Amino acid sequence: MRGVVRCDHCGAPHRRETASTRFRCDWCGGDNRVEVIRLAEELVLAADDRTRDPATRVRDELGSRGLGGADLTAHPPRWVGLWQVVNEDGEEFLGPVRATMTAEPVLRALPAGPLRTTDEEPPSWVSALSERPPVDRDGEAVVEAARATFDDAESPVVLVRLVWTGVAPFTVGYSGRTLGALQILGTDRVVFESLPEPQSSSPLVKERLLAFLLFAMGAVAVGVAVDHPGPRFALELGWLGLGALYWMIRRDRDLRGAR
């Protein structure tokens, strides 16, 4: 905590210029431990990978979870702020600077990536966002909220900071359900409100197995019904060609559904 603090032993005032949590009193020599109860840093996630657009990242994430073919509705990108409070025991508290909409997921962890102070050059995606919302920079309230979650409420707080992250919100429609998604700008990470269970592959496997058996039985039936080798070969070849055509059409439909 920067500013003036008093010695716990003799009450002598001391002006603090750093966020160190320990100092020795110049008057009585007493060892003091000071808690950080005000915002020490305000940072911005500085990751800036622009190789793919947010919608593509969301679709890829859905596809990797077996949930391709979803309908996406994009919403204007915005800022999300997370308070981070850490005590001397290493316990961490994360809390949003304001309540988000019920239909949107919540960031429950700080995204991995470089951080910069707000006066440094921002990443390029910042230009797509409006100004960060006003926030009370006094960290006392968030520290008190953090204390309630720590195992030792008396453990000194050593870090309080506010980290801003740009997100691209989406509404995802899938199988009659609607859920929210946040693509963290500058990264590959996507946070979902909740995800339905992936559709089981059993129906698809059963369908293809049934199709294979039907075409195999058809080929055998042609072989039994037609005695002459020439017509039998032509019919079996045509039957197998029909099976291959069905397989390609079905495969193309599956691929289009996964996009």
The total domain count for the chain is 3
Strand-pair category, 41-45 with 157-174: parallel
Structure tokens at 27: 């008057």
Is residue 254 located within the same domain as residue 150? no
End-to-end CA distance of the chain: 52
Is residue 152 located within the same domain as residue 210? no
| Cα distance between residue 210 and residue 216, in whole Å | 10
| Cα distance between residue 126 and residue 46, in whole Å | 9
Cβ neighbours of residue 172 under 8 Å, at least 6 residues apart? 58, 62, 70, 71, 72, 73, 178, 179, 180, 181, 192
In a domain, 128, yes or no: yes
Is residue 98 located within the same domain as residue 172? yes
Last residue of a domain, one of 192, 210, 234: 192
Residues 115, 191: contact at Cβ < 8 Å? no
Is residue 188 located within the same domain as residue 251? no
C-alpha gyration radius of the chain: 30
In a domain, 155, yes or no: yes
User: Mean pLDDT in each 10-residue stretch from start to end of the chain (259 residues)?
Assistant: 66 67 81 70 85 87 81 90 88 78 70 86 86 77 87 85 92 84 90 69 54 66 68 69 68 50
Is residue 80 located within the same domain as residue 131? yes
Is residue 74 located within the same domain as residue 164? yes
Residues 85, 93: contact at Cβ < 8 Å? yes
Q: Provide the 3-class DSSP secondary structure of residue 139.
A: coil
The reported pLDDT for the residue numbered 1 is: 39
Find the helix packing angle between 202-225 and 229-258, rounded to 10°.
Answer: 170
Cβ neighbours of residue 42 under 8 Å, at least 6 residues apart? 117, 118, 137, 161, 162, 164
The reported pLDDT for the residue numbered 158 is: 82
Is residue 207 located within the same domain as residue 138? no
The reported pLDDT for the residue numbered 75 is: 92
Is residue 175 located within the same domain as residue 247? no
Which residues form the domain of 245?
A: 202-258
The reported pLDDT for the residue numbered 259 is: 43
In a domain, 197, yes or no: no
